[in-house]
């Protein structure tokens, strides 16, 4: 079973350039430290405003999710960047989602043409 670790951060629209510049530093930190590489996206249409950043990574186990959270919480480089980014937050939250693997529906049998 896989899990999705998601960070949602709504930021002040007027600070978008500064916020995204710091986010680029977070992406570089992920690569440099070998952490799970998150996908970053933002809403185009929907409930959340466009000045919302969504970071998410799929991890194989719940233990891996917890290990990732612990690693981020303990890392001084991550803490320094986060301290610079949080003044731009209007709100932020963390979600852990369980990836569902639903069975495929049964295939319908169709009559063959020309069969008697």
Pairing of strands 52-59, 89-98: unpaired
39, 27 Cβ separation under 8 angstroms: no
Would the pLDDT of 114 be above 90? Answer: no
Angle 24-69-66 from CA coordinates, rounded to 5°: 145
7: nearest Cα among 70, 92, 91, 103: 92
Domain boundaries, the chain: 3-98
pTM of the model: 0.84
Binning pLDDT at 50, 70 and 90, where does residue 90 land? very high
At 107 the pLDDT is 85
37: nearest Cα among 19, 18, 56: 56
Q: 14-63 pLDDT, tens per residue?
A: 999 999 999 999 999 999 999 999 999 999 999 999 999 999 999 999 99
Q: According to CATH, what is the number of the domain 3-98?
A: 3.30.70.100
Query: Strand, helix or coil at 28?
Result: helix
Binning pLDDT at 50, 70 and 90, where does residue 115 land? low
């Amino acid at each position: 079973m896989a899990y999705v670790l998601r960070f949602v951060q709504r930021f002040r629209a007027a600070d978008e350039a500064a916020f995204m510049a710091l986010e680029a530093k977070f992406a570089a930190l992920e690569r440099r430290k070998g952490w799970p590489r998150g996908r970053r996206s933002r809403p185009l249409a929907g409930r959340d405003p466009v000045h919302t950043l969504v970071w998410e990574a799929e991890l194989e186990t719940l233990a891996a999710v917890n290990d990732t959270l612990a690693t981020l919480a303990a890392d001084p480089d991550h803490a320094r960047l986060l301290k610079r980014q949080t003044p731009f937050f209007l709100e932020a939250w963390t979600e852990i989602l369980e990836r569902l693997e639903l069975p495929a529906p049964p295939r319908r049998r169709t009559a063959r043409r020309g069969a008697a």
